[in-house]
Chains A and B, each alone.
With several copies, the nearest count.
Chain A
Amino acid sequence: MNYTLLYFASLRDAAGCAQESVVSEARDPGSLYADAAARHGFRMPPERVRVAVNGAFAARDVVLNDGDEIAFLPPVSGG
């Protein structure tokens, strides 16, 4: 499947990019995060990372579709 991954804040710094296109057998955001963490050396535990799919918050085990855009969101610190 083809996915677009979005990284923010420290994950963006660690990945060295804000966005990447991947081709993957993974069918859920949790698996995609595990792959990305191994590839980029993310040290943030997956349970701290919220997930959004196509611009809306989503569960880590939601079933993805080809072409989905998946965002990985570290703990927020606005305000």
Chain B
Amino acid sequence: MKTFSLSESAIDAASLGRELEREHVGAVVTFEGRVRDHNEGRAVRGLAYEAYAELAEAEGARILGEARTRFEIARALCVHRVGELALGELAVWVGVSAAHRDAAFAACRYIIDEVKSRVPIWKHERYVGGKAEWLHPWNP
């Protein structure tokens, strides 16, 4: 199983969670990013993610590898949605298992922060009222 993957269909958090379960594992930390109905004061109707798939998968796998090097963890997985998403849908899921919770929390936080800042994925938000916009944060 790839440690980082893009998914065009709904992310199955429960089955990803089961992937992380091992008897020798004491701690599992997960992060779920969901589509919010508001962003910076604007009412969001829906959104889409576009990725440069080849590079996104390579860079994502690199981040997961860094997490395994930096923190004493057992396993780490991340899946990011691409395509059209509805309000409330899961956009990104990160799960980390470890013997101890310090490493699990730190690695989970590291992965979502790095994925958000480095992986070539872009969010296109559609707002109530008809406008739509690519999000290109210049000061991430």
Chain A positions within 8 Å of B, measured between CB atoms, are 6, 8-10, 12-13, 44, 48, 50, 52, 55-57, 71, 73-79
Contact = CB atoms under 8 A, between A and B. Distances in A.
Contacts of A6: 52
Contact of A76 (B58, B121, B124): B121
B52 A10 contact: no
Contacts of A9: 50, 122, 124, 134, 136
A48 to B, nearest CB: 6
Contacts of B138: 48, 75
Contact of A56 (B55, B92, B119): B55
Interface string B43-57: 000000111101110
A interface, over-half SS: mixed
Contacts of A71: 52, 55, 120
Interface in B18-55: 33, 49-52, 54-55
A50 B122 CA distance: 13
The CB with the most chain B CB atoms within 10 A, among A12, A44, A77, is that of A77
A44 B47 CA distance: 22
A62 to B, nearest CB: 15
Interface stretch (B8-16, B69-77, B110-118): B110-118
A69 B18 CA distance: 39
Contacts of B91: 79
B137 interface: yes
A8 B50 contact: yes
A76 B112 CA distance: 13
5 contacts: A8-B120, A56-B58, A71-B120, A73-B52, A78-B122
B104 to A, nearest CB: 13
Nearest to A48: B138
A76 B137 CA distance: 7
